[in-house]
Chain A
Amino acid sequence: MNVMYFAWVRERIGVPQESVETEAATVNDLIAELSSREERYAAAFADTSALRVALDQELSDFGASLVGVREVAFFPPMTGG
């Protein structure tokens, strides 16, 4: 699946997006898997209360299933307006 990062999450992880091969069942599982791979992910995902997630471009939550999902995006709370 395509995993995207925005704002400081992008800066901390170092890439705007990447293709990730994973069997993760939920967003939380994906976060755990990435965090165990490299320190930069663990640093970015250390406090998920400071993060938001969108699945296929719709806001979702960390317990949500990844079945059939093609695009996951992680970012801080939005500051539009």
Chain B
Amino acid sequence: MHIRVQPEQFDAGAELNAFAQGRSDVGAVVSFTGVVRDTDGDLREMLIEHYPGMTQSAITKIAQEAVDRWVLADCLVIHRYGSLKPGEPIMMVAAAAAHRAASFEAADFLMDYLKSRAPFWKKELTSKGADWVAAKGEDEDALNRWR
């Protein structure tokens, strides 16, 4: 498992190549990259706060569950915090397994859990001011799919 929590930008393509490189034991690698979206054309900055003591352990727990449940050969989670600009990557996950169904499902599971169980909070800065992004009820409902 590779888990990184960092303020710096990352290159999702390079990360995916490095993750998938040199393996002959997997038949499927699925990745997802989350990007800062400027919905109304007015987003100046996204600020992501996190709980440093808890973040790494919460993500490790989620990733370990994915590895165990889908018998992953490996998985990758990168999540940024701090100041992000529209169009920049926020986070990425990648799951490597023998077959594609396991890789797709594990990546989907990782995303659902990172969204509402990893201690990050997003704030959007626009010309109108700063607003915390509210969690959506459907994000919590999404977790029920995996129970």
Q: Contact: B34 with A81, CB < 8 Å?
A: yes
Q: A7-B49, A7-B123, A75-B121 are in contact. Are A80 and B116 (CB under 8 A)?
A: yes
Q: A7-B49, A57-B54 are in contact. Are A75 and B119 (CB under 8 A)?
A: yes
Q: Contact: B123 with A80, CB < 8 Å?
A: no
Counted as pairs of residues, one from A and one from B, with CB atoms less than 8 Å apart, the total is 70
Our pick among B34, B111, B116 for the contact of A78 (Cβ within 8 Å) is: B116
Q: Does B135 belong to the interface (CB within 8 Å)?
A: yes
B134 to chain A, nearest CB (A): 8
A4 to chain B, nearest CB (A): 7
Nearest A residue to B90, CB-CB? A81
Q: Does B88 belong to the interface (CB within 8 Å)?
A: no
Interface size on B, residues (CB 8 A): 26
Interface residues of A in 50-71 (CB under 8 A from B): 54, 57-59, 71
Per-position contact with B for A12-51: 1 when CB-CB < 8 Å, else 0?
A: 0000000000000000000000000000000000000000
Besides A57-B51, A57-B58, A80-B120, 13 other CB < 8 A contacts?
Answer: A7-B49, A8-B132, A54-B51, A54-B119, A57-B53, A58-B54, A73-B51, A76-B132, A78-B115, A78-B117, A81-B111, A81-B114, A81-B115
Q: Which residue numbers of A lie inside 8 Å of B, CB to CB?
A: 4, 6-8, 10, 54, 57-59, 71, 73, 75-81
Instruction: Provide 20 A-B residue pairs closer than 8 Å at the C-beta atoms, listed in order of the A residue.
Output: A4-B51, A7-B49, A7-B121, A7-B132, A54-B54, A57-B53, A57-B57, A58-B54, A59-B58, A73-B51, A75-B51, A76-B132, A76-B135, A77-B135, A78-B119, A78-B135, A79-B135, A80-B116, A80-B118, A81-B115
